[in-house]
Amino acid sequence: MKRKTALITGASRGIGRAAAIKLAREGYDIAACCLKSAEQIEDLKFQLETAYGVRVLTFLGDVGDFEFVKDMFHDINMEFGGADVVVNNAGISYIGLLSEMDPDEWNRVINTNLTAVFYCSKLAIPHMLSVHEGKIINISSVWGVAGASCEVAYSASKGGINAFTQALAKELAPSNIQVNAIACGVIDTEMNQFLSEDERQCLIDEIPGCRLGKAEEVADLIWTLAGGHNYLTGQIIRLDGGWI
């Protein structure tokens, strides 16, 4: 039986890496991409191929660049026949006052976090339509639901993902393609390593679950969405320990 293939963006570390490991463990061939962490992404490839015997393609480039994404999907289609699951995980943050943010910084956040979701989804859909099934899983944030002071661009990009998810889910539901988003709370990844111990503890004190989330917990939810639930679509699922 032919394995299914999952594309994970931002796969070199954190949630993306955990998702690649989980899906490979469950028997998926993997297409993994990241912006510039060549050593980390090749280490991931070696780990997955050695431990789970799956095929792995790796890509180094900017998912906010349509030409790069087109070339990536060409290779995925040639090697695997297409992507059956797309995990749109690549993301960057910007912390600071909006009045001090320049347009290039704004565009970089929006292109990486939101426009890339459009690119990857658009190019994945033809294969999914041809086999009459597929899963698009977008990694969002609770700030896309509630908004965060000094993270306006990030919040806007994640709010855009949420609206994109709900709209595309309606468009693709008749074709048995499910589109959902996971709105993460504070996950213990490198993105949050800038926080001091006092800042981390203040956050933890606000979270009813009394701790930060783990990348592996997000990966488990990704797997749950990838592996079934064909009537579950258009949902923004908060994974935040009851925080927001």
Q: Which of 28, 52, 94, 154 is catalytic?
A: 154
Residues 112-123: b if buried by 16+ CB within 10 A, e if exposed: bbbbbbbbbbeb
Interatomic CA distance for residues 76 and 6, integer angstroms: 10
86 within 8 A of 7, measured Cβ to Cβ: yes
DSSP state of 115: I
181 within 8 A of 162, measured Cβ to Cβ: yes
Give the angle 49-55-61 at the CA atoms, nearest 5°.
Answer: 95
Residue 204 CB: number of other CB atoms within 10 A?
15
Candidates 226, 221, 219, 229; CA nearest to 15 is 219
94 within 8 A of 68, measured Cβ to Cβ: no
154 has catalytic annotation: yes
Per DSSP, the three-state class of 39 is helix
200 within 8 A of 211, measured Cβ to Cβ: no
18 within 8 A of 194, measured Cβ to Cβ: no
Residue 83: strand pairing partners: none
Q: Which residues are catalytic?
A: 154
